[in-house]
Amino acid sequence: MPTESPSRTAPEERLVNLVVALMATEQGLTKDTILSSVTGYREQSSAGASKDALEKMFERDKQTLRGLGIQVETIGDYADPDDLREARYRIPTAEYELPADIQFSPAELAVLNLAGGVWSESSMSADARSGLRKIRALGIDVDAPIIGYSPRISLRETAFRPLQSAIEQGRVVHFSYLKAGEDAARRRRIRPLALVEYEARWHVYGFDLDQGEPRTFLLSRIVSDVEITRTSFDLAERDGAGDRALAGLADLAGRQRALVEITPGTEAALRLQRRAEPADQGFLVPFVDLHILADELASYGPEVRVVEPAPLRDAVIARLERVLALHGGESDGTEASSR
């Protein structure tokens, strides 16, 4: 089984280094500058990776960032915008600036100051600062300091890194997957094609070799180590896979919507109403996985009441009753079903 070198930059760290670099200059960076200056690409180049492989990695990283809502802008030749041979790439900082007329209450400012204390220029890793120095050395203006981006990101899903490695290598993987509502995990064999983030959760999209069709798996439900096999597949299968995965998840969420009543001014209102649609009785919340939504809704306690579907309401009640039982309480289900 192939192993990843411990010195290799983690994919998520490479992405943040890329974000830092693309936000650091208004004029944008060429692909060659990015591949030679940004940690994660530079070390792969030094290790002998081909330019074609690095360019494909960069294209996948751009796709991942766009899937996360970070717009990577491509600037072509001014005389011929369609000529992308010397294209420059940047992340427009204006899209992330607060409106000039926005105002905060003293309490809100206090919270922002506390949050701001966590982030500082020192949060930028040495690798990210090194990349910016190299970009400056090329005569490219760099905004300084770039504050608020920490290239040290850790994921709870241990499956992320081996899956990313398998996608880059074009290798089949095996893992055990515990599907919602089932008591035992099942062994899965897939050709992994893309890792995508949807509703703040990571999924792997690939071709299920046993089912003979594409499937999407939630990383948090992978309950074993990911085994990277020696069996390879055509790397062309990855083309557009991220878009197909996100489209499939969005389509599923559009067909599955929960009707909930939400107490105004609560944490539940803040979080749910961002993705919900107003309805005659409460809000319609799209969801991909009933059990994951039940976990979330139960965490809000009395701030949310599920109207329908009934299986979701029952799942939330069951979770609340388990919490009550753990704390020595008793319930006949009447109160839980009405809250």
Domains in the chain, CATH or no CATH each = 11-137 (no CATH), 160-252 (2.30.30), 256-338 (no CATH)
Distances (CA, A) of 43 to 5, 19, 40, 277, 286: 12, 17, 6, 46, 42
209 Cβ contact list (under 8 Å, min separation 6): 172, 189, 190, 191
7-56 pLDDT, tens digit per residue, is 456 677 788 888 888 887 778 888 888 888 888 888 777 777 788 888 88
Cα separation, 8 vs 14, whole angstroms = 10
Q: Six-digit token pair at 270?
A: 């803040």
User: Taking the CA of residue 320 as centre, how many other CA atoms within 13 Å lie in the half-sphere pointing to its CB?
Assistant: 27
pTM over 0.75: no
Residue 197's H or E segment, with its range, is: strand 186-198
Residue 110: strand, helix, or coil: helix
Residue 95: strand, helix, or coil: helix
Cα separation, 30 vs 20, whole angstroms = 15
268-316 pLDDT, tens digit per residue, is 887 888 788 898 889 999 998 898 899 889 988 889 999 999 999 999 9
Residue 168: strand, helix, or coil: helix
